[in-house]
Amino acid sequence: MSEIKQNGMSIIVPFLNEEEGIHLFCEKIDEYAGRVDFDLEIIFVDDGSTDRSVEMLKEYEFKNIISSKIVRLSKNYGSHAAIRAGLTKAGYDICTWLGSDLQEPFELLEQSYKMIVQDSCDAVYVEKKSVEVSFFNRLFSKIYSGLMRRFAVKSYSSSGISTIVFNRKIKDHLNGNIEANSSIMLQIMNAGFRYQLISLEYGKRAAGSSKWTLSKKIKLFIDSFVAFSFMPVRLISIMGILIFMTGILFGIISIVLKCTDPGRLVGIYVLICVFGLGFGITNISLGIIAEYLWRAYDAARKRPVFIISDVVDLKEKC
């Protein structure tokens, strides 16, 4: 294992076919590195690019970046997997990730670094104060954020978190618990480390087109719920109970109608009663089975039951 270095920050930059803007990103981050009083290490992670992005990175000569690497993946695994791959090669205690499209403001690096070095927190969540996006993207973000806060991670921001800066404790936790089909942001939030929230203005994409497609958004949505919430499983039981109660209700209605008016046809009510009771019992049974499967799945992932953040020896204080 490489030696962990202090007084600096490792920045993971996952990219996919970014030849139009990767050179500009290198210029901007190198210029910024010359203005801060701590070292910056850049770890580029090629997530299966088929253009000249890698060649352009090899040709660029950094002046102020203390260290730069390129980690090439065998194929396109997705940005979260790419960040995890880059994190295993990070040399500094404090780490984060940035997109190569220059949407994130670089000042988040200096602000977050100071907050973590002063030992006021283990992580800094960077919230988007405002960003010009389409109505569909804004709607998806609001729905996703709301559902995450309600059913998965209570600390998730209503405006969405796209970047987290964190210290060595979280870095070691992530490298020791690499989860497939999961969200690295939710994994950090779910761990319960001390954090602070800052809100910054995000910009437009500097060049090229976004690789954040609808299919990737849907996959993130599903992965987030499956990995961090039992609500989809519990929903089966809830639906079963509601259908079952509906069957009982129509059963009572059919009995009352038949008693008050013996000649009245109540076949439709009886049919709804039978279907409601039948489908209700079926869904309740599926819900019980799903609860057991969820617990088996949760145990198979071998997530830590608890995470020790700090150990204080009280004898040293006496």
CB atoms within 10 A of CB 316: 6
Tens of pLDDT, residues 219-273: 767 676 666 766 777 777 788 888 888 889 988 988 888 888 887 777 888 888 8
95, 126, 122: which is closest to 5 by C-alpha? 95
pLDDT at 131: 56
Note the helical H segments in 192-266. Answer: 214-228, 231-260
Q: Is the pLDDT of residue 139 over 50?
A: yes
pLDDT at 313: 42
Tens of pLDDT, residues 42-85: 999 998 889 999 899 988 999 999 999 999 888 888 888 889 99
CA dist., res. 210 & res. 233, Å (int): 33
pLDDT at 314: 39
Collapse the DSSP code of 100 into the 3-class scheme (helix H, G, I; strand E, B; otherwise coil) and give the result: coil
- Residue 264's Cβ-count burial label (10 Å; 0-12, 13-18, 19+) is exposed
Q: By the 8 A CB rule, do 105 and 21 touch? A: no
Residues 6+ apart with CB under 8 A from 106: 28, 29, 32
Spans of all domains in the chain: 5-228, 231-300
Tens of pLDDT, residues 111-134: 999 999 987 799 999 988 765 556
pLDDT at 154: 72
Yes or no: domain 5-228 corresponds to CATH 3.90.550.10: yes
Tens of pLDDT, residues 291-300: 777 667 766 7
Q: Is the pLDDT of residue 35 over 90?
A: yes
